[in-house]
Structure 1
């Protein structure tokens, strides 16, 4: 009985030890790990390496048991065969006998066989030998990878292939710069993948059966943003690294002439600003945020002009130039729909994206914190959570347009252009587009006095999942008007369908949770308004 109690206590101790290790790992994640910014190098392990095998000539390859040698002899004696190196390290050639090849370099293969043949035959026997097939091996991949395990390959396969077979390096946990290869419990190779990512260089290494690839935990990292070509989270090998050394990785843009350092000191986040010429004097540590920017005054803006017009598609204007001034210089065509000019702005698109992202995070929080009173209800919640995850993934792929709605009443001389603005001159259209939860989404010819319901009826009527409280009329200038069933509008002309308009019928959300239904409905509405896309929930 006492023995059983001791065993039980030992098992409980082991279980708690595992739980503590997991808890420490999770709690150690910093704000950088949870920021969502990409880690430099994480995109390389997407399955592109694991399916390939390295059948290449390597003069430094050391022959091993199981390798297949192609041997051809001609002249006074003819022989041709593919011979496998046996467990004693030999191949056997009739009339020649055993030839020991274990441990021989590939570059010496032909000479080794030729010298053995000459002991039996005169010089009138010629030899050709080639390594036909490398020995298949199994390599352990461990540490901070997606799937720790034993993986088969060839001794000439690259380290990248074995890590790719293990699903890649764990995001925010595994190191790309501290990877070791162990043989017989001893480290035989250190690898820094930044050398491959930055310079395309990677040392070729001959694996042996039973080798271990160990991806060690990441220790130091910083977040880089701003006017750089590589805005990623970067891993550092030392505790202190100069900003000058970091610049080799991040490739600042030519316009960048200053940078900001944000770090934690005494529990407070402190930000300091410096000129670029002091980069060699300042050092960054773990968790530092580094932002490069320019304090040059930009007096010119680049604006794109698209659509139905004559003239350049891209112009440079002075800062402070109004939309009216640009439009007054555009050469329109008879087909230009001047009254429905559209303006798309990057800053507006970013704001729309942030709004949608906030709503998505709120939806995820509500979905994963819902309580279940029964096992059956718990199963329903789990399935609903899976559908919500897929829905969130689809929404995150949508790119808002960033349209600035302009009406005929607006003073265009007060709308000042920004860098990267896109002015679109639509072509006159006699089409009304109907999409979303209708039976046959279609583009119809404009018909005077047709209502929204008339156009929907022409498309086969409303679908079973149509949300009659979320029917949107998108005017040609981008203005959105919502029609709700049972409402009486004081201005009936506002719901008049005109040529060039679009009708979007949103769908219902099937969920017993009122809060989730509300969140999904709001997200569908924002996506429809911001990106002119109708998504189905689940």
Structure 2
């Protein structure tokens, strides 16, 4: 058979010998049956009581004899235990009268047997006299994969006295051929005979050894039969033909089992491989019912079956949509046809709605159920938590249910995030980062190309510096993109009574989240200043006041690009010096970096991202530091 198939299949029966064998050392004082055959080394204990009381302990000598006082020597070698007991009784009765006896075995003798041929550990073994053929095989590790299981011989005085087929024991539990060994016996395991493989949907796929003429049905019997999923109308036989090629033969086993066609039960040869294919897993005499029903799944399709038999009032759940359902049907050309119908019309008894069903139809019923929408409220509200919302509910209603804002709440700094916005901004951010990275690479390539006319030393220095700057800018872009809070909506939050009816009283969606922070008392100044810090807020002071309290700008500051991130997440970049600064705002002073190659404003990328996506103040501060 094919090498790949042989690796996947196991040879039947050999695993039995791969477990560790129990000890086969000589045993003492064990009960023996009446058929036990005595030999030199066995010990007999004879108890005599009645008018005469005595105990005789005798060991069978090398001549096969025992000695009993006043009786003499008795030859017991080769006698079974029950016959030896009768012989002792008869001989004692010639000397004594009015007595009774009991004969038991003392120490059993050991025997030496040879296990040779195709076994794992061939050699000579000392074993108990009670040992049988299978005991000898176990102690020798069993037959190797090249050894037979079906013609194991026991040789005594150079003659075969017994031959055992282990398949009789493995398949039927028959140990009648498992004879007891005698000292000097040889257990011989010849090479394996013809083998065939059985694969597929059978109870015990394996490689089996043949003995005599074996047909496919005999092989299936050895394998425990065909599994319920096995297809008998097309089985396949692979075999080598005349040592020149490999051929296959398909046959219908039912032709033999039901009609007696012999050609449908081939005789097997060495190297054959029999495949049992599975039945078609698809169920054809069924229709499926899907949707809000009590018992969805497949239903038996009976002749003339119609919709009313499976779409019943008792089976539908309350949320089922009754005005339109569908039959999804595969047509003969394998295209899909969708046939609508009304469950209301069906229940009203309209014949046009009670359509006839066909094999593999899918009856799909829609549901009017809508998943429960929830939003989360946290921070300085009276009753934070997760709230279930009704369709059309607005932000003011949510704040009322949460008990309103606490006195020290800071509504201007409220963070409102929305899942649908987060997904959209994620796509935009990924697109932006890819565009910026492509621009950086193009810029680096242009600078490198422009350095060709420089001296060799200057050219190398220019290229190295540009590569370092490009790598730095790409790393900055990625770190900023990972730090941005996506999904934030810039809203102007007010108490519920003021919010109601205003443009900021937005409709709520499933997954929305609202966080109300505590009232701030400072303004953050970060970026290219001498001491990035938070400055205590002072009314009517402008941007210059807070920058001066942070030590003023550094030489690297890009003063034309200063912008303010408001507490609500919005960014202000125009007429910044004239803008009023409120508590909770952050003043961002970007850096203008001028490397030797060309100007590269690193934090202008930060400004672009922040202005486009309204990064919260805490995140911007963390990035700038």
Which is higher, the Rg of structure 1 or of structure 2? 2
Q: Whose RCO is larger (CA < 8 A, sep 6+)?
A: 1
